[in-house]
Amino acid sequence: MSAGEPHDDMGTPVPLRRPVRRVVSLVPSLTEAVAVTAPGTLVGATQWCTHPPGLEAERVRGTKNPDVRRIRELAPDLVIANKEENRELDVRRLREAGIPVWVTVIESVEQALRSLRRLFEEALGVPVPDWWQSARAAFAAPPPTPLANAVVCVWRDPWMVVGRSNFASEVLRYAGAANVFQDHGDRYPRVGLDEIRGSGADLVVLPDEPYAFSADDGPEEFGDRARLVTGRLLTWYGPSLTDALPRLRAELGFGDHPAQWCPGRG
């Protein structure tokens, strides 16, 4: 490999074929980012890649079980993956087949913005888009002093919550709530219902992904502390960042700004 090759977020050299015209994305957030920024380059995406609506790209199964054989047949110039979302085994198999794979690492908002910029400029060879500039502006100020404590559930049976070093936890903080499990030793700890209920949280946040919490599945456990929210606003790093904060504040019951929230008022 040449010393001039770009390195992904893991520090691994990626031998790119220029120009990059055929891309397979195994990360829903990055699928949307690439589709909006470099239209026409995506030839493959996962079944969970729901944005932008109407995306025309072949589905190559899921994030944890991609169809490696079909991806090889699509002959991409680049496959985009993520350390958390995708398996090391699949990344290795693709690389052994001679397919360049760019692995991202995203655990904070600042890291997400840096990673996206590098993906566009160094991997795809395209200019940083206007939406990226808008996203950076939306998160430019320091997060406000939290007016509520919250638990973010990501699964049930077993119950799992957002823990340390987590992008979703930081987005929540910018929206005005502090994650009570942000100092837990695990990134997605398994906890019991009694621990969630007794955590001191003012809010129990129930996103619609990865587990599809809904009006009749989840809120019954937590009463008026429960808040159903759009998971994409918490966990996706891409064009959704441009308006994620006002939308998330509204769904949490904060109104246009967290200072408008009062405990017990939805």
Angle between helices 130-138 and 109-118 (to 10 degrees): 170
Domains defined along the chain, listed by start:
23-128 (3.40.50.1980), 148-255 (3.40.50.1980)
How do residues 101-133 score in pLDDT, each as one tens digit?
999 999 999 999 999 999 999 999 999 999 999
* Residue that is written with structure tokens 């001039």 in the block: 4
Q: What is the pLDDT of residue 256?
A: 60
**pLDDT band at residue 2, thresholds of 50, 70 and 90?**
very low
Confidence (pTM)? 0.91
How do residues 190-212 score in pLDDT, each as one tens digit?
999 999 999 999 999 999 999 99
Does the pLDDT value for residue 260 go beyond 60?
no
How do residues 47-93 score in pLDDT, each as one tens digit?
999 999 999 999 999 999 999 999 999 999 999 999 999 999 999 99
Q: Report strand pairing: 148-155 vs 101-104.
A: unpaired
Task: Using a pLDDT cut of 70, give the percent of the chain over it.
Answer: 95
Q: CB–CB of 43/23 below 8 Å?
A: yes
Paired strand residues for 42: 23
